[in-house]
Amino acid sequence: MSIKTALFATSALLLATSATAYADIPVGHLADQSGATSDVGVPYAQGVADALAYINSKGGINGTKLAVDTVDYGYQAPRAISQYKKWSSGSDKIAALQGWGTADTEALTGFVGKDEIPAYSGSYSGHLTDPTGKGPHGSKPAPYNFFYGPSYSDALRGMLMWAAEDWKKQGGQGKPKYVHMGANHPYPNAPKDAGEQLAKELGFDVLPAVQFALTPGDYTAQCLTLKEAGANYAYLGNTAGSNISVLKACQTVGAKVQFMGNVWGMDENAAKAAGAAANGVVFPMRTAVTWNAEVPGMKTLKDISKISDASGNAYRPVHYMAGVCTAFYMKEAMDWASKNGGVTGPNIRKAMYQKKDWVPAGLEGVCVPSTWTDADHRGMTAVNIYRAQVTGDTGASVADLVKAGTIKLEKLTTVDVPRKPEWLGW
């Protein structure tokens, strides 16, 4: 082959690929695969990526493929912003964003609103639920922010309601003591005020918040504080990785506290890593079931899982499933948009409001029915509260441990958190 032919062939190839690239629907995907929250960021991002690849393998959005660009931003908001700026300008402007953390999602709120790019985040910050900015707690308008699941604040409210009941059931004397724990970071801080406020109303004695970093470390001092203060219920605002350190340290010092994780605070991997220390931790779950459940939607999920695990044997944690649900809500909205004027930001947003209590097709029984309206982006206010049960040694693989019943995520109750207007955007 002469140089000329080679050149011609490459340029023809380039032209062809760029031509198809423009016909696709560009989607940006921000993932944390190496940063402080990568312990849960990796399975969630895998869920999103697999789901989007699966959608493409089934013909994409009414025949148009999604051009997904997955970028690891290391949980650093500035990196997310600079990546977003690359995605949001020029001719290949993204139609939607699959985002991740609270700091970056909240920082991007103004940008996505201006650029009209729907952002589906892995952050469930209550601040993102107010599309009009009319919430009484000074929330900024977030018309293009969506997430699948109860907000951090609503999930905490649900757990506090459960805790108040639990205290009575256990025959506790006097006021139960509640403490908020987490890093000084937008993500753990997001539900802090909302939780402490409701705790007071429910008759808890609210202790000063206790800080621990987003990274695993020695948190014995924090646990001694809990023990001395006599805390009864503690909210863990961080992701599983650092929570495990706290759980283990508290077990060592003998602090008898009922821990309540956030949606990212506990999962099958964390239960394995923490072992007996994770036993009894309660946490809210976004999906209706876990991986081994037998519901119609699991068939689709198993197919999606084969995208990155050809053997089909991998056990996927709850975060993977939540990632798939989030991606599929976006997919259905895009389907509607493509039939109603084209896949553009404003159309996708409108599409999210078309149905009530809906579950994406194919995921029945997995995703929890959600409703978004143009005045309220609290998709879900029903909080499914689960308890982690760990019995025995957790040396085996997660799949085996779950099969043997050593690790069990047991459903306690569903708390319907009232959709109060004064809680919008808080």
**Contact string (CB under 8 A) for another protein, positions 277-316, x = contact:** ----------------------------------------
Q: Which stretch binds another protein (CB under 8 A): 74-82, 222-230, 270-278, 405-413?
A: 74-82
Which residue, 113 or 241, has its beta carbon nearer to another protein? 113
Q: Are strands 145-146 and 96-98 parallel, antiparallel or unpaired?
A: unpaired
Which residue lies nearer to another protein by CB, 127 or 408?
Answer: 127
Sign of the Cα pseudo-torsion (327, 332, 334, 335, in order)? positive
Contact window for another protein (CB under 8 A) among 72-80, 282-290, 324-332, 389-397: 72-80
Tokens 């072992």 — which residue? 275
Contact 287, 368 (CB under 8 A): yes
Based on the shown chain and the rule CB under 8 A, indicate whether residue 229 belongs to the binding site for another protein. Answer: no
Q: Determine which helix (DSSP H) or strand (DSSP E) holds 190, and give its type and residue range.
A: none
Q: Total residues contacting another protein (rule CB under 8 A)?
A: 19
Strand duo 145-146 + 382-390: pairing: unpaired
| Shortest Å, Cβ 213 to another protein | 12
Nearer to another protein, 93 or 387 (CB): 93
Between residue 5 and residue 34, which ones bind another protein under the rule CB under 8 A?
34
Minimum distance, C-beta of residue 318 to another protein, in the bound complex (Å): 23
Measured CA to CA in angstroms, residue 89 lies from 21, 49, 121, 229 at distances of 16, 23, 20, 52
CB of 183 to another protein, least distance (A): 8
Q: How many Å apart are CA 95 and CA 115, to the nearest integer? A: 10
Is residue 217 at the binding interface for another protein, with CB under 8 A as the rule?
Answer: no
Q: Which of 11, 18, 62, 82 touches another protein (CB under 8 A)?
A: 82
**Which is nearer to another protein, 5 or 91 (by Cβ)?**
91
Output 189 or 269, the one with its CB closest to another protein.
189
Looking at the Cβ atoms of 362 and 425, the one nearer to another protein is 425
How far from the centroid of its chain's Cα atoms is residue 393's Cα?
A: 29
Of 88, 98, 131, 100, nearest to 28 by C-alpha is: 98
Residue 373 engages another protein in binding (rule: CB under 8 A): no
Helices (H), 190-278: 192-201, 220-229, 240-253, 268-274
b vs e for 334-343, b when ≥16 Cβ sit within 10 Å of the residue's Cβ? bbbbbeeeeb
Residue 82 CB neighbours (<10 A): 11
Q: Which member of 7, 10, 58, 78 binds another protein (CB under 8 A)?
A: 78
Contact status: 89 vs another protein (CB under 8 A)? yes
Q: Which is nearer to another protein, 76 or 220 (CB)?
A: 76
Least CB distance from residue 78 to another protein, whole Å? 5
Q: CA distances (Å), 169 to each of 70, 134, 173, in order? A: 47, 39, 11
Any residues with CB less than 8 A from the CB of 170 and at least 6 apart, and which?
Answer: none
Cβ closest to another protein, residue 158 vs residue 191: 191
- Residue 71 tokens read as 């970028």
CB of 32 to another protein, least distance (A): 12
Restricted to residues 97-136, the positions that interact with another protein (CB under 8 A) are 103, 106-107, 110-111
Q: Which residues pair with 370 in a beta bridge?
A: 358
CB-based contact 260:283 (threshold 8 Å): yes
Return the residue of 131, 186, 237, 323 that touches another protein, per CB under 8 A: 186
Residue 58 makes contact with another protein by CB under 8 A: no
Which of 417, 416, 378 is CA-nearest to residue 198? 417
Out of 53, 71, 77, 293, the only residue in the binding site for another protein (CB under 8 A) is 77
Residue keyed to tokens 């309660």: 282
382 near another protein, rule: CB under 8 A: no
Q: Cβ of residue 158: shortest distance to another protein, in angstroms? A: 24
Phi (first) and psi of residue 98, to 5 degrees = -100, 110
Q: Determine if 341 is a binding residue for another protein (CB under 8 A).
A: no
d(CA 131, CA 268): 34
Q: From the list 81, 224, 314, 396, which residue makes contact with another protein (rule: CB under 8 A)?
A: 81
- Binders of another protein among residues 146 to 185 (CB under 8 A) are 184-185
Q: Write out the residues near another protein by the rule CB under 8 A.
A: 34, 76-78, 81-82, 85-86, 89-90, 103, 106-107, 110-111, 184-186, 189
